[in-house]
Amino acid sequence: MTCTDVPDAQCTCPHCQREAERVGIKTTAEKLDVEPSKYNVGQTQVETRACPKCRHYIMTAPMPDQVVDRGIVRDELLVQGRHRRGRP
């Protein structure tokens, strides 16, 4: 499982100029990979940081590219599911 960190440029609180601390890791999405008669489920994690002083600055890492493709993969799964039931 991979974890995407908050970019260095966004690790500093703009209010306090302090380095934001990691406050959590969030599992954002599941990605399904389709292979013949086989389904693999993968999860993606992103880091969340917050300013230790004011706690008003919270930054979560951007979504990795592979999560963006999720919609396309799900469509392929739908097509395969229809074929299995013998419907168009």
Site residues (vs Zn ion, CB under 5 A): 13, 15-16, 51, 53-54, 57
Give the C-alpha separation, 54 to 58, whole Å: 10
- Closer to Zn ion at the Cβ: 57 or 67? 57
Which are the contacts of 72, defined by CB distance < 8 A and separation ≥ 6? none
Q: How far is the CB of 57 from Zn ion (least distance, A)?
A: 5
- Closer to Zn ion at the Cβ: 22 or 83? 22
Give the C-alpha separation, 64 to 48, whole Å: 14
Q: Indicate the residue type of 75.
A: D
- Closer to Zn ion at the Cβ: 13 or 46? 13
| Residues belonging to the chain | 88
Q: How far is the CB of 46 from Zn ion (least distance, A)?
A: 21
